[in-house]
Amino acid sequence: MTDETATPGSVPGDDVVPSDAQQLEVIGVREGAFGVSGSGDTSGFGGLTRPVVMPPASTAPFGGWFDEVAEHLVDGVGEAGTGGAIEKVVVDRGEITFHVRRELLVETARHLRDDPTLRFELCSSLSAVHYPGEVGRELHVVIHLTSMSFRRRIRVEVSVADADPHLPSIVGVYPTADWHEREAWDMFGIVFDGHPGLTRILMPDDWPGHPQRKDYPLGGIPVEYKGATIPAPDERRRYS
Amino acid sequence: MTTTNDPYAGTTESADGPVFTVTGQDWDTIDPSLADGDHIVVNMGPQHPSTHGVLRLVLEIDGESVTDARAGIGYLHTGIEKNMEYRTWTQGVTFCTRMDYVAPFSNEAAYVAAVERLLQIEDQVPQRAQDIRILMLELNRISSHLVCIATGGMEIGALTVMTCGFRDRELILDCFEAISGLRMNHAYFRPGGVALDLPDDGLQRVRDTVAVLRKRLPEYAALCNANPIFKRRLKGVGHLELSGCLALGLTGPVLRATGYDWDLRRTQPYWGYDTYDFDVVTWDEPDAYGRFRVRLDEMWESLRIVEQCLARLADSQGEPTMVADRKIAWPSQLSVGADGQGNSAEHIAHIMGESMEALIHHFKLVTEGFRVPPGQVYTAVESPRGEIGCHAVSDGGTRPYRVHFRDPSFVNLQGTSIMSEGSMISDVIVAVASIDPVMGGVDR
């Protein structure tokens, strides 16, 4: 894993400022091994502590057409000289992710769609990921855009805090985001300001809670089979 | 009287005048002198034979004309994405294959492509495994389009189209059963390859099926293409131009019927689709009829690809169908028996009787699974309904941290409103059928 590159002993909430491009994106801490805790561990593996680190920010040049897109995106949005809307850029596994400030999300989306050098005509997908370990940036909204003209795909990511789960809706730019944003609200409790009708979409209208959040249990009951009992899936031993 | 105690329409007054709630067989309780006009809100579904599963359409109608159409979904939500966070990366295939149950291989394809990119083993997947995947995907495209044409025909009263469609689809599902052990919900694609190689008679079976399909596919064209009733029901219905498709994110046959040849197999090829010879089908009438013709022609193109697959697979007999990396490759050798897919007796004998190390290896990989380095990817493949994408996030563990599927039915269904507002109720059925939504995929 990436132990040697991470700050030893860093834990969530402990001075983690991942918006800084120089910092590693620590999203949690993994402890022990083999999924056992509290038993008489004689192996020593139970004492393992490893930070969970997402791929770090990349610096230009990013390679290929990534630089062209990044350049046009930085120049086109926000005030000149401030780096525009981009918090950081991550190039990983041949895909590029632009972390965008939420205030400038709509402007960024419109620029990505309309700029003749970018032309991201299609919003393929919008969803969210809950990183409870990343304090202050727990909820990430992930937007996948496709440029059919240039046959390119990029990812735009916006982070918001659990305490203030608001970001502007991009339905005005990409009408297809309508249902996607409703799903993100339904599943994560993220509020898209300016959405034409932000209601639950998959869960019943009166459902309490937002099921895809990490603090929402999976649920389930133990199942008895031939005298043995198999616990519910979220109660079983986990190795990760 | 039901007008006052309805929990969902508590008020009987609105800006447009009094609101009455009737639920059937109680229309005579309404005083006609109070009702002005016949503006009615109707729930079509969730239990309606023409809504492709459990889709609820809230239609505001003025006589026979639809003034407002809204789709209500979620009736088939099973939390597949959440469940996948509690299983290993390999077990995830078993869940996602159940989303769009008419095109299960596309779900599996998007998912295993995402896992393979996360593991960065995309170029290590053996060629034979990729050819088998393409064979299955294309057969599945035909069977899915057959279901679309069959159910679409049934909904407008063309029952012969329905019986023909399901008859021919069953031939393909028989092939799937012979190869993967199951008609549907195969879990046949695995990260790194496929679960098991083709059976000895697999190629011949598919070859025979292709021969039968070549004879039978012209029947659909003969039945429908110039059929005056069929054309009058479909032409001009569910009209949606290219700009509307892009704004609403519609892909697949709906997009190609506008004349735009966007097909991920051609525009962003994966697994060697660029080495296959086929044409992207388009049509110049963006309506239900155009979509029907696109699907009809796509089945022929899929047959062409299947035949090329058969030739390649005949040449690559005996080559591996799983990555060489033993830390990822599923250790268990499966076999298809008379009662479906099961463990291979040979493998069981090996781990239980011959090699302790093999047993440990098997146990570790099957119970714990393999670790996937942290990061996120988005992979998209062309399903019969359009772009199915998989956004997979790993935190370095043995289970997915988050998996989200961009299901084409989910996105395409947003076109319901624009396609059916202003039309007749009977055209709503045709418009929805031309989108070809599968509610298992919409609701996941």
Give the pLDDT confidence score for residue A59 in this predicted structure: 81
Whether the predicted pLDDT of A1 surpasses 60: no
Residues of B in Cβ contact (< 8 Å) with A200: 74
| Any domain includes A227 | no
Give the pLDDT confidence score for residue B18 in this predicted structure: 67
Whether the predicted pLDDT of A5 surpasses 50: no
CA distance A14 to chain B (A): 19
Residue A162 and residue A73 share a domain:
yes
| Any domain includes A210 | no
Whether the predicted pLDDT of B203 surpasses 70: yes
Report how many Cβ contacts below 8 Å link chain A to chain B: 127
Give the pLDDT confidence score for residue A71 in this predicted structure: 83
Select the residue from B87, B120, B246 to test the A interface by mutation, using most A Cβ atoms within 10 A.
Answer: B246
Evaluate if pTM is beyond 0.90: no
Residue A26 and residue A78 share a domain:
no
Average confidence (pLDDT) over B320-330: 85
Q: Do A203 and B77 touch (CB under 8 A)?
A: yes
Q: Do A174 and B83 touch (CB under 8 A)?
A: no
Cα–Cα separations (whole angstroms), residue A104 to A17, A91, A197: 20, 21, 22
Residue A106 and residue A15 share a domain:
no
Give the pLDDT confidence score for residue B444 in this predicted structure: 86
Give the pLDDT confidence score for residue B6 in this predicted structure: 47
Average pLDDT value over all residues in chain B: 87
| Any domain includes A209 | no
Select the residue from B75, B76, B82, B250 to test the A interface by mutation, using most A Cβ atoms within 10 A.
Answer: B82
Residue A34 and residue A13 share a domain:
yes
Give the pLDDT confidence score for residue B114 in this predicted structure: 94
Residue A142 and residue A93 share a domain:
yes
- Is the pLDDT higher at B337 or at A52? A52
Tell me, letter by letter, the H, E, C secondary structure of chain B.
Answer: CCCCCCCCCCCCEECCEECCCCCCCCHHHCCCCCCCCCEEEEEECCCCCCCCCCCEEEEEEECCEEEEEEEECCCCCCCHHHHHCCCCCCCHHHHHCCCCCCCHHHHHHHHHHHHHHHHCCHHHCCHHHHHHHHHHHHHHHHHHHHHHHHHHHHHCCCHHHHHHHHHHHHHHHHHHHHHHCCCCCCCCEECCEECCCCCCCHHHHHHHHHHHHHHHHHHHHHHHHCCHHHHHHHCCCCCCCHHHHHHHCCCCHHHHCCCCCCCHHHHCCCCCHHHCCCCCCCCCCCCHHHHHHHHHHHHHHHHHHHHHHHHHHHHCCCCCCECCCCCCCCCCCEEEECCEEEECHHHHHHHHHHCHHHHHHHHHHHHHCCCCCCEEEEEEEEECCEEEEEEEEECCCCCCCEEEEECHHHHHHHHHHHHHCCCEHHHHHHHHHHHCCCHHHHHC
CA distance B292 to chain A (A): 23
Residue A168 and residue A188 share a domain:
yes
- Report CA dihedral (B244, A104, B403, B295) to the nearest 10 degrees: 10
Residues of A in Cβ contact (< 8 Å) with B380: 124, 153
Give the pLDDT confidence score for residue B34 in this predicted structure: 67
Give the pLDDT confidence score for residue A30 in this predicted structure: 79
Whether the predicted pLDDT of A32 surpasses 70: yes
Residue A12 and residue A77 share a domain:
no
Q: Nearest-CA residue of chain A relative to B119?
A: A93
Give the pLDDT confidence score for residue B1 in this predicted structure: 38
Average confidence (pLDDT) over A89-98: 90
CATH code at position A76:
3.30.460.80
Average pLDDT value over all residues in chain A: 82
Residue A127 and residue A187 share a domain:
yes
Give the pLDDT confidence score for residue A38 in this predicted structure: 64
Whether the predicted pLDDT of A13 surpasses 50: no
pLDDT in tens, B49-97: 666 778 888 888 888 889 888 888 988 899 999 999 999 999 999 999 9
Give the pLDDT confidence score for residue B213 in this predicted structure: 93
- Is the pLDDT higher at B189 or at A26? B189
Give the pLDDT confidence score for residue B35 in this predicted structure: 66
Residue A231's φ and ψ, nearest 5 degrees, are -70, 165
Residue A49 and residue A163 share a domain:
no
| Any domain includes A219 | no
Integer Cα distance of B406 and B408 in angstroms: 6
Domain annotation for chain B: domains and CATH numbers: 80-324+343-443 (1.10.645.10)
Q: Nearest-CA residue of chain B relative to A120?
A: B246
Q: Report the residue from A93, A180, A236 with minimal CB separation from B377.
A: A93
Tally of domains within chain A:
2
Whether the predicted pLDDT of A78 surpasses 70: no
Give the least confident one: A106-115, B7-16, B285-294. B7-16
pLDDT range class, residue B382, cuts 50, 70, 90:
very high
Whether the predicted pLDDT of A218 surpasses 50: yes
- Is the pLDDT higher at B139 or at B7? B139
Average confidence (pLDDT) over A141-149: 93
Residue A75 belongs to domain spanning: 66-193
| Any domain includes A237 | no
Whether the predicted pLDDT of A221 surpasses 50: yes
Residue A23 and residue A129 share a domain:
no
pLDDT in tens, B230-265: 889 899 898 999 999 999 999 999 999 999 999 999
| Any domain includes A221 | no
| Any domain includes A95 | yes
Residue A168 and residue A49 share a domain:
no
| Any domain includes A198 | no
Q: Do B376 and A92 touch (CB under 8 A)?
A: yes
pLDDT in tens, B333-362: 777 777 667 778 888 888 888 989 889 888
Whether the predicted pLDDT of B365 surpasses 60: yes
Residue A177 and residue A146 share a domain:
yes
